[in-house]
Amino acid sequence: MPIIGSRTGEGGDGRAEPSRGAGRLLRRLVRVTVALTVGVLLLLALGFLWFVSVLPTDEVKLDRRADGIVVLTGGASRIVDAMELLAAKAGQRLLISGVNRSTNAKEIVRLHPEFEAIVGCCVDFDRSLNTLGNAIETRRWAQKRSMRSLIVVTSGYHMPRAMAEIAHQLPDVTLIPFPVFSEKLRAEPWWSSEATARLILLEYLKFVFSQVRMRVNPSAGDSS
């Protein structure tokens, strides 16, 4: 005898329809998640192509002077190039930002005695630990001396992030990039070396992170 009210597929308690609805919702969430992930990866890939396209590839000849010069340490030749700019009177004073404990005026003079006169009068140091710290110390240094223009010296691959961080801290100061290149980067394209490609990719990810941080929390690091 058939049971009145029973329907095949419902299990007799009406649970089948909600289960199918939950399954459809789960599949929809999975599709949305996959689409968002693919979209983010595509944006990151396109952003990387833009990033490498704007990286400086040649050293520049400055056609103007600035109130000051800041060099962000890290590459072997950055400090020497910045000292040469100071000696050529491209700026009135130099900040060497991010130096380690062994780097001071006496050590620079020992290694480069030709710079003794300008080191004694016109060079300052700070021991910040990262690019954000470099930018904060640059702001303090420039504001203390009422500087309205700065030459920024750092590696070519580091220049976009350095300029962005310093511009965020000093929006009313004119920044003039002076990229420095190692012999390896000068001799071969970045994609020809796995180590160089990894370095460029890591710098791009740091650049993206800094851009997100400055938009999500614009006041981060702005305290005096």
* pLDDT tens, position by position, 17-45: 667 777 788 888 888 888 888 888 898 88
* pLDDT tens, position by position, 122-165: 999 999 999 999 999 999 999 999 999 999 999 999 999 999 99
C-alpha distances in angstroms, 51 versus 54, 167, 200, 203, 204? 5, 18, 9, 10, 7
CA angle 75, 80, 81 (to 5 degrees): 85
Q: What's the rounded mean pLDDT across residues 85-103? A: 92
DSSP 134-150: HHHHHHHHHHHTT--EE
Q: How far apart are CA 220 and CA 222, in angstroms?
A: 6
Residue owning tokens 């997100």: 212
Q: How confident is the model at residue 183 (pLDDT cuts 50, 70, 90)?
A: low
What does the mean pLDDT of the chain come to? Answer: 86
The helix (H) or strand (E) run that includes residue 201 is helix 194-216
Q: How far apart are CA 113 and CA 107, in angstroms?
A: 10
Domain 68-216 CATH (choose: 1.10.287, 3.30.70, 1.10.3470, 3.40.50): 3.40.50
The b-or-e profile of 92-118 (16+ CB within 10 A means b, else e) is: ebbbbbbbeeebeeeebbeeeeebeeb
pLDDT for residue 40: 85
Q: How far apart are CA 141 and CA 149, in angstroms?
A: 12
pLDDT for residue 220: 64
The helix (H) or strand (E) run that includes residue 86 is helix 78-87
